[in-house]
Amino acid sequence: MKIPKKCRIMLVSQAPSRDASEEHILADKRNRTYMQLLKMLCISDDEFKPYIYWTHYAKCYPGPAKGGDQIPTIYCANKYLRDEYDLCEPKFVLGVGRCASIYLYSNYVDTKTPKIRIKFERIKNTPRLLNGVTFVFITHPAPTDKKTEADKKFIKEALPGLIKKTIETNEYATVARYLE
């Protein structure tokens, strides 16, 4: 994806699906994951493309594994994500899924805690503000991904408002704690 001129949000997921990677249909209505993201964020394709830059922790589909996909290496993330972040200059960063979220958290939000000690369950669904940028980490939108009631509530009630506010105001999105 090209970085939009009005980029406000950087969305980072694990890796493009096999189909998206092979067919070059990342932010395209033919991509099922893209359509799931639009539904989850409560925005249209027309709202997504001018303001949201979607990239991946891994730059290619890592291949299948028993029970899901292989975990991608951090090589590409270390090589490209910082440059993409600097070019995008986001006000909001959304990490989708465990791998992408832990990488973002340990390299942007909490650089002192080793990745191996970060538990996804502790960082998800809680917006964090760092240097005027809101970071939020969520579970994957796929229906097969196991979500708790708290995950579903945050994704349905809090996340769309954070996205809309960031798009409409180009300011960092603040939010009262939605989960107790």
- Check if the beta carbon of residue 33 is closer than 8 Å to that of residue 20: yes
What's this model's pTM, rounded to 2 decimal places? Answer: 0.87
In a domain, 152, yes or no: yes
Q: Which residues pair with 9 in a beta bridge?
A: 52, 92
In a domain, 61, yes or no: yes
In a domain, 2, yes or no: no
Q: Tell me the pLDDT of the chain (180 aa) as tens digits.
A: 889 999 999 999 988 777 777 787 888 888 888 888 898 889 999 999 999 999 998 877 777 788 777 777 888 888 899 999 999 999 999 999 888 999 999 999 998 888 778 899 999 999 998 888 999 999 887 766 778 888 888 988 889 988 988 888 876 655 543 333
In a domain, 1, yes or no: no
The token pair at 67 is 């029970």
What's the total number of domains in the chain?
1
Q: Which residues pair with 54 in a beta bridge?
A: 11
DSSP 178: -
In a domain, 151, yes or no: yes
Report the CATH number that the domain containing residue 159 is assigned in CATH: 3.40.470.10
Three-state SS at 13? strand
Three-state SS at 59? coil
Tell me the C-alpha distance between 154 and 33, whole Å.
19
In a domain, 81, yes or no: yes
Tell me the C-alpha distance between 161 and 158, whole Å.
6
Domain limits at 145? 9-169
In a domain, 73, yes or no: yes
The token pair at 148 is 């708790």
The amino acid at residue 25 is: I
In a domain, 179, yes or no: no
